[in-house]
A and B are shown apart, each in its own frame.
Chain A
């Protein structure tokens, strides 16, 4: 599946900042949508939103940091580029740690902003791909029986068929049959594929 064209979502309460940045990004041939508040963005948000958010830190109601938390809660994966009036270092450290792509101080140059937007788009692709893999892995694992899942969890830990048989108190032959079914159901070629699926699904842990 091919991702749609990425869009920059500007969230800033300042009309002149929204207007000028929109002009700048559009000029670079990138699509833009702007919102006057965090609430307006959340109301408009749809699962087809793809790209990144340029987010003002200081806004009258919901602040930029609060919106970041809210997006995390709702598992919205859009990467964030923060914009702030003054470079508050502890605040920017926190924002980066919780997944922001960058923290830019106003006024921002065209070069810096566009570089950041491109980085954020790459990040967005990565996040969407990861999410797709995870969906896929979870779907695969759902096809397995309880016993097959037990066998798989031991196999990805690197246990041999013999060990698995001893551990689950079944015959060596039965383990081989389970494993063959697992490989077929998850469309895996080898054990490495299995390990990846297990990791991506978060179930293997």
Chain B
């Protein structure tokens, strides 16, 4: 080795090394920082020298670092810092970076220094690998779940979407405008989806975005509605909605299955109802038919007696007495039968009508008859009504179902059910009004609509409204139809308020 090399100064070597290095004194002050270190931490030489080394440590670790520094002085030897784990360092621009750090003690006459070396290469590689692996995992999971991902730029109204989503929508465009997107949604579902979107980007509440809607896929050649379920989260920036990021899933099969199951349930329920109607009718028929048979026979005996030449008053008297008695008996049977059918006393409780209306709307919506838009005008702090919870719920659900079916038959583009609830102070009753925007009822139908077995539905048995009216009346209220229901049928019912 030449003298020249032997005498190569510490400073020259220190500055020449590619690894970022700091020389720190026993008090923890930075004495020297090589150019690599200056570059790494973003300080120039003047800024970094003579400051405490804790400046390069994130505030939360500074106290701990001071203690470790004192421990190192007690037992100085070459080692890595943090047992080989990456440690966080703080750069001038406030960014934190992860570093492998090694320490070597240097002793001169009377002075003690620590030479610290910093390495980022390893960490970055590991992080990149981890990122790749995580992305791969995400991609596989996404694929397995059939999820499409979207990122909606709320300010510029542009939607970025992934391959899966483009496939669902049958589009090859990398992005699409919000307007184009809305055009792919079924007209009947647009309003509901818009409400969900608006409540998600509302800064006052922090609800997530959740919506179900049908879309059209033009790539199929034929128009085909698919059901999409979408969940997302809005990200806010400067107090305004910035991005809506989320996933979509094709739930058409689920929906169809649900619909099928619901249809089956409805069918079973209808069959059952029909059986109840048949049984009831045949019980009544039986009660009436026996006296009717006797009355018919007695009457003919009487008539025949009158025609006979040898007039038999005994027969005539017997026959007419029989007629009267049997007619009376028929009347009694009917009263007894009705009393028997209505014998169970109904249990009433205090009802929150507003809640009940909301529950019934949910039930009707999940019926599989199709969705609808609801317009509620519920009086705040509506006093409790007194009634049987199940019966009132049954009536509400029945009215909503009728409304949904009426609107479906009328083919209205956006089904809408308006419900209002208020008190009628003068009578101490609560009034509920349910209106749809179907084609309404003509005057002839209004006359018969509450009659048993009157129906306009192909599969109905015509007991719904007749039973609903009976239930409301049993609860002390009334149910009627607005005779002028041109803009959709409008049903009213009252219930007594709880005392």
Instruction: Write the residues of chain A forming the contact surface with B, with a CB cutoff of 8 angstroms.
Output: 14, 16-17, 19-21, 23-24, 27, 58, 83, 85-86, 106-110
B488 at the interface (CB under 8 A from A): no
Complex contact B282–A17 (CB within 8 A): no
Task: Give B residues with C-beta under 8 Å from A.
Answer: 282, 285-286, 289-298, 300-301, 304-305, 312, 315, 318-319, 322, 325-326, 329
A24 to B308, CA, bound (A): 13
- B294 near A20: Cβ-Cβ < 8 Å: yes
Residues of A contacting B329 in the complex (Cβ-Cβ under 8 angstroms): 16
A107–B305 CB distance below 8 A: no
Contact check, A110 vs B297: say whether CB atoms are below 8 A apart.
Answer: yes
Closest to A26 in B: B315
Residues of B within 8 A of A86 (CB): 282, 285, 289
Contact residues in B for A107 (Cβ distance below 8 Å): 289, 292-293, 295-297
Would you call A21 and B297 a contact (CB within 8 A)?
Answer: yes
Once the chains bind, are A109 and B296 in contact (CB under 8 Å)?
yes
Which of B286, B289, B290, B319 has the most A CB atoms < 10 Å from its CB? B290
Within the complex, which residue of B289, B296, B304, B322 is in contact with A19, where a contact is CB–CB below 8 Å? B322
Q: Name 18 extra pairs, CB < 8 A, besides A17-B293, A23-B319.
A: A14-B293, A17-B297, A20-B293, A20-B295, A20-B296, A20-B298, A20-B319, A23-B315, A23-B318, A24-B304, A27-B312, A85-B285, A85-B286, A107-B289, A107-B296, A108-B297, A110-B297, A110-B300
Do A110 and B304 have beta carbons less than 8 Å apart? yes
Given known contacts A16-B322, A27-B304, A85 and B289 CB-to-CB distance under 8 angstroms:
yes
**Bound complex: CA A16 to CA B325 (Å):** 9
Please determine whether B294 and A17 come into contact, CB atoms closer than 8 angstroms.
yes
Contact B301 A24 (CB under 8 A): yes
B297 surroundings in chain A (CB, below 8 A): 17, 20-21, 23-24, 107-108, 110
Assembled-state Cα–Cα distance A83/B305 (Å) = 24
Find chain B residues with CB under 8 A from A14 CB: 290, 293-294
A109 to B296, CA, bound (A): 7
Q: Indicate the member of A19, A23, A58, A86 with the most B CB atoms within 10 Å.
A: A23
Q: In the complex, what distance in Å separates the CA atom of A86 from the CA atom of B283?
A: 11
Q: Smallest Cβ distance from B278 to chain A, in angstroms?
A: 11
Provide the bound-state CA to CA distance between A24 and B312, in Å.
13
A23 CA to B303 CA, complexed, in Å: 12
Residues of B within 8 A of A83 (CB): 293
Q: Can you offer 17 A-B residue contacts whose CB atoms are under 8 A? A: A14-B293, A16-B294, A16-B326, A17-B294, A17-B297, A20-B295, A20-B297, A20-B319, A23-B301, A23-B315, A24-B304, A27-B305, A85-B285, A85-B290, A86-B282, A86-B285, A110-B297
Q: Are B290 and A17 in contact (CB under 8 A)?
A: yes
Question: B292 to chain A: which residues have CB within 8 Å?
Answer: 106-107
Q: Residue of A at shortest CB range from B294? A: A16
Of B296, B305, B312, most buried by chain A (CB within 10 Å of CB) is B296
Residue in A closest to B289 when the chains form the complex, CB atoms: A85
Chain A residues closer than 8 Å to B305, beta-carbon distance: 27
* CB <8 Å contact, A24 and B300: yes
Chain A residue with the shortest CB-CB distance to B329: A16
The answer for the CA separation of A109 and B299 in the assembled complex, in Å, is 10
Contacting residues, chain B, for A19 (C-beta < 8 A): 294, 322
Query: When chains A and B are docked, how far (Å) is the Cα of A3 from the Cα of B130?
Result: 112
Q: Which residue in chain B gives the minimum CB-CB distance to A19?
A: B322
Shortest CB-to-CB span from B184 to chain A, Å, is 57
Top-8 shortest CB links A-B: A107-B296, A20-B297, A16-B294, A106-B293, A107-B293, A110-B300, A20-B294, A20-B298
| Distance (whole angstroms) from the CB of B356 to the closest CB of chain A | 42
Nearest B residue to A58 via CB reads: B286
Q: How far is the CA of A17 from the CA of B282 in the complex (A)?
A: 19
What A residues does B301 contact at CB under 8 A? 20, 23-24, 27, 110
**How far is A21 from B326 in the complex, measured between Cα atoms in Å?**
14
Hey, which chain B residues are within 8 Å of A85, CB to CB?
285-286, 289-290
